[in-house]
Amino acid sequence: MTWAIPCPPQPSLPIVGSDDRFPVRRIYCVGQNYAAHAREMGSNPDQDPPFFFSKPADALVADGATVPYPPGTDNLHHEAELVVAIGIGGANIPVETALDHVWGYAIGNDLTRRDLQAAAKKVGRPWDMAKGFDHSAPCGQLHPVSTSGHLTAGAISLSVNGDLRQSSDLSDLIWPVADVIAYLSFMVVLAPGDLIFTGTPEGVGPLVQGDVCVVEIEGLGQLTTHIGSATA
Ligand code: MN
């Protein structure tokens, strides 16, 4: 058998302290997983179970790279997030053993065309073009659990051109990582290579051409993203 067209490249993440790379299968994202952010988006954080959307795996962007300002929007937003990498798959994973499925953690930036998202919400349309566009998933080096341990608390922050925009703590997650894995694995079978962007704290805001956006999570270092000019 040969491929009819050249096989698309396998999306992957670099790993801290290793020349190996982590192959990425799917990217899931949790919506409104910090109470103050849920409120700034006009929702009540006390009512609902977690909800999910996704990004294509080839939307990943490496640390230090430049993201071209995406077409179709006048309001590109940053969202600082903890990213979980799944090493052992499963369905209906119990909360109690959920963390055993985590291979490692990374820093992510869930780039969002906020104007398109707001328009989609208003008329009940899908979020794909607001969330899953090209270059929408900057994600840093993966820290293996074997060296970093599990991240249940620690500062998460985001700055733009040195100005602090988002500042919170992982302990403020409404649904902690274990709960997210349990819920998500009830809806879909998780597999090795899946990433989960776990949601952003309050303080989301716009990025413009020339901005330098830095996300920092205690224990994981920094993720830097440059915003470039519009794609031709
Ligand atoms: Mn998000």
| Distance between Cα 52 and ligand 1 center (Å) | 10
Whether pTM > 0.95 for this model: the answer is yes
For domain 12-230, the question of CATH label 3.90.850.10 is answered with yes
Report how far ligand 1's centroid is from the alpha carbon of 149 (Å).
23
| Lowest-confidence region among 43-57, 80-94, 105-119, 185-199 | 43-57
> Rounded to the nearest whole angstrom, what is the distance from the C-alpha of residue 199 to the centroid of ligand 1?
4
4 CA distance to ligand 1 middle (Å): 36
- Cα gap 109→224, rounded to integer Å: 9
Residue 229 CA to ligand 1 center (angstroms) comes to 23
- pLDDT above 90 covers a percentage of the chain that reads 90
Average pLDDT over residues 149-162: 96
The mean-pLDDT minimum among 46-60, 73-87, 134-148 falls in 46-60
147 or 97: which carries more pLDDT confidence? 97
In the chain, where are the structural domains located?
12-230
The band of 46, judged by pLDDT with boundaries at 50, 70 and 90, is confident
**Residue 36: pLDDT band with limits 50, 70, 90:** confident
> How far is the centre of ligand 1, averaged over its atoms, from the C-alpha of 29 (Å)?
6
